[in-house]
Structure formats: C-alpha cells, structure tokens
Structure 1
Amino acid sequence: MTFSICAHCPRTGQVGVGAMTAMLGVGKLVSHAQSRVGAAASQAFMNPYLAIDGLALLEKDMTAEQALEQLIAMDPGRAGRQFGIVDTKGNAAAWTGDMPQDWKGHRTGKSWTVQGNRLAGPEVLDAMVETFEQSENDELVERLLKALEAGESAGGDTKGHLSSAILVMDTEAYPLWEMRIDHDDDPAGAIRKLYDDFRENLLWQIKKMPTRANPTGAFDFEDDIECT
C-alpha cells in the first residue's frame, strides 16, 4: 500500500526518504535516516526496527547489502516485509516478501532504492527511478519530491493516496527537511505546497541553527528577534 524512495546524494552527503501511501501518517513509522550514515524505509507489514537496526548496523560500517541480509535472516515476519536501505558509500539494497499485495517489487541503483506494494504496476517504480535519475543536478529534497510526484502520476497505490512524507538529513542530528502530510485527499499536492512554504519561511532559520561545530549558530541575537 506504500511506495517509497531512499537515497544518498554523493555531492552533498545528504541522505533522505520520500514515501506516499493510502494509509494515515506514512512519515511516522516508514521513514528513517541518520546524518552521514544512511536512509531506510520499512513498509508493507512494517517492522520499524528493520530501519532502526539497519541504520545502527551501517553506523558499525556494514554495507547496505550486509545490513539487509542480516536483518532479513533474523526476522520471522520477513515474508510480509518490504524494506529498502542505502548507505553513504553508494550501496543500496531492498527486500520484498511474498505476502504484500500485488503489484509489488523494488529497484536498486547506485545510492538509491525504490520499493512499493499494492501498486498500479511496475511503471510506478520505473517512473520514480527515471525522474530521480534525470534530476541529478537538483537538491536531494527536490529529487525525492519529484520522484513521489512521478509515482503518483503513474498510478501509485491502487487504493489511492492519503499521506506523504519527506525526510532529509544533512550534517546535523536534526533534519534539514522533515515534511509530513498525515491526512489529505491530495498528499502529493499538499507536500509540494508545504515544500514551497518551508523553503521560503523555514529553511533559512534551520540553516542558522546551532551545529556541533558552531554551538551558537548563525543567529544575530539582537536582530533576529523571532524565536519559537
């Protein structure tokens, strides 16, 4: 019932996940990413610990393929799972069990993986891949968003779409981008509007926030009077 994309941007080092589904709150449990480590998506009969533990294994210097192999071997519910994971070395791996509803499948490439179940057909994933690869000069967040839009335009989830999410991690432990549409008749359109709003009104504030290297951040405490 979900289609998603996990990716690493070799140019910026960013990692991220984009997802859309017919159920509520796709961003809450499907999307996972860790700065300078990797990104993962767990869906179908989801087990969020596949993504959580997968990122922990990447942090221990396993590749995406090694992490997936270990996790799937240990999961008694593997037949119902769909899982994708990427690391920051260009590796990507995915798993689709037998139980998720057709059409189901995945695609992997250098630094990306796309996966989905209960889709209109393989054309959904193919459209996502084509769009993602053709937009290689764009920022990662825009590439993920375009990939979701392409998947939705190609038919997406056969039960329709209700929620969407994009998560992008950059250098810090907090997200550079985290957008969630939890319940909307047009989650693709809604997240595009949210993206435009964030870019204009929030991104500049995030970029001024404290970092590990600069605990005071770039705010001018006299002139930047707005705070949360």
Structure 2
Amino acid sequence: MTYSIVAACPATGRVGIAIASRSIAVGFTQIHVVGKVGALVRLGKRDDLTTRTLFKLLEQGVPPSAAVALSGIEERAHLTRHVALIDAAARTATWEAPATSPWSGFVTGDGFIASGEGLAGEGVIKAMADAFAAGGGADFDARLLEALEAGAAAGGLAGLAERSAALVVHGTGVHSELDLRVDLHEGAIAELRAVFDFYKPYEAFYRLRSENPRQTPPQEAFMATLAATAD
C-alpha cells in the first residue's frame, strides 16, 4: 500500500522521488535514485538483481521501456509487483504484475509518473499528476512533495494512515541534493512536510559546506547572513 511520484528535469539534470506507504522505512526499501541516470520505485520483495540490471541498462543509454523488457523482470515476477522507472532524459516505463492490491495503476505525464498500489482509487494518482503538472514554477523538490500531499488529500491509502514517507532528489553532483525520510510516524506525510520546511532554509548552507568546506562560515553566522539579506 504505497503511492509515489518519480520525475526528471532534463534542463537541470535532476531526478527524484516522493513516496508514502503503510510500510515502514519506504525510503530505504522501495526506491532507488542515481544522479544523471534515473529514478525507480519498485514494490515487492527484495530483488537487487532487477534494480542493478535496470540501472546498468540506463547507464548504457537504453531507454526505460527497453530496460524493463531486458531486465528479466517477467521471470522474477514473484518478487516484483509494480515498477515506475524514469531516466535523466525524462523517458518513462511502467510495469505491473498480474495480481496487485486494488486499486493500483499509473498516470504518466511530461517528465513524471504518478503511481500506486492499494489506494483509495484512481483519483489519488490523478490528483498527484495534476499537482505536479500545475507546479511548473516551483522548485523541483517542492513540486514532488506537493504532489504527494495532493495524493493524500485525494484519499491516499484505502482507509489506512501512511506510516513512512520520503523525498529524495539527485542532481549532477556526486551526492544527493535532498534526502529526507520519515521512517515511522502515523502522520508521515505531514511529518515529512515539517522536516522539509525546517530543512529548506539550511539547504544553501549544507550545499556550500559540501562544495567549499574551508570557506564555509559557522552555521549560525551563515544563517544570520541569510536572515539579514531577507530583511
């Protein structure tokens, strides 16, 4: 019982995922994001072979639809129920096993896939797709989170609370640009929003510290400079 949005922005090189689930630690168990390559949501039992194969093919320039066909996923369908895959060029592919928990499905749009399994209905992923498409002027990470919130507002899981959620974005650098996770909370999406809103003002500080640690002032001094600039 999970819903998500995977997306890519070729103009900036970003790929990312926002996801929520009844299961715990969904950001650890069900997603995979590689900068300059792509992003994957795969629901089911652990299957490292499929994940490694898919990303190896994407790294070689194979389109996602062909990568899924070549991955051997059909032969290991007992391990995988649902796949949403996008590459850094915003090409997409989806796959679903014959037996999944209702309601399940996908909405694919320009540079994204909204999808889920065990949902209140198709309206959940339609709301996610509409929210992401409508947020073109917002930051990429904010659009992903807003889409997840729209899915929750449209009914989310079928009568159950989301207990984990994650928001992960990779750009062209070695490390992720954003990796926020709520692993166990009865209001996981609201908690993820709280973490995101608290972290966002510090984003520039952590980026500078990563790129130029010797020239980065203490956190308090950096944040005071930002506050003064905002005033």
TM-score under structure 2 length normalisation: 0.87
Question: Could you tell me how far apart the structure 2 residues matched to 1:110 and 1:183 are?
Answer: 32
State the secondary structure of the residue aligned to 2:71. helix
- The reply to whether residue 13 of structure 1 matches residue 8 of structure 2 is no
- The reply to whether residue 51 of structure 1 matches residue 81 of structure 2 is no
Superposition map of 1:19-98 within 5 A: 19-45=19-45, 47-73=47-73, 75-77=75-77, 80-98=80-98
Change (3 A) 1:142 1:185: same
1:224 maps to 218
State the secondary structure of the residue aligned to 1:8. strand
Change (3 A) 1:53 1:137: farther
State the secondary structure of the residue aligned to 1:130. helix
Return 5+ residue gaps in structure 2 as ranges: 221-231
- Cα offset, 1:145, TM superposition: 0.2
State the secondary structure of the residue aligned to 2:215. coil
Identical positions, percent: 26
- Cα offset, 1:11, TM superposition: 2.8
State the secondary structure of the residue aligned to 1:33. strand
State the secondary structure of the residue aligned to 1:84. strand
Superposition map of 1:147-166 within 5 A: 147-158=147-158, 159-166=160-167
Question: Could you tell me how far apart the structure 2 residues matched to 1:42 and 1:60 are?
Answer: 20
Change (3 A) 1:225 1:113: closer
Question: As a proportion of its length, which structure holds more helix?
Answer: 2
- Asked if the contact 2:46/2:79 (under 8 Å) is kept, the reply is no
- The reply to whether residue 141 of structure 1 matches residue 141 of structure 2 is yes
Question: Could you tell me how far apart the structure 2 residues matched to 1:100 and 1:146 are?
Answer: 26
Q: Which amino acid aligns with 2:118?
A: R
Q: Which amino acid aligns with 2:164?
A: S
Question: Could you tell me how far apart the structure 2 residues matched to 1:9 and 1:182 are?
Answer: 27
- Cα offset, 1:101, TM superposition: 0.5
- Asked if the contact 2:47/2:79 (under 8 Å) is kept, the reply is no
- Asked if the contact 2:15/2:38 (under 8 Å) is kept, the reply is yes
1:180 maps to 181
1:214 maps to none
- The reply to whether residue 191 of structure 1 matches residue 192 of structure 2 is yes
Change (3 A) 1:100 1:79: farther
State the secondary structure of the residue aligned to 2:157. coil
Cα RMSD, aligned residues only: 2.0
State the secondary structure of the residue aligned to 1:115. strand
- Cα offset, 1:44, TM superposition: 4.0
Post-superposition Cα deviations, 1:46-69, rounded to whole Å, max 9, x if no partner, equal: 535433432221111111111112
Return 5+ residue gaps in structure 1 as ranges: 212-216
Question: Could you tell me how far apart the structure 2 residues matched to 1:26 and 1:79 are?
Answer: 16
Number of matched residues? Answer: 219
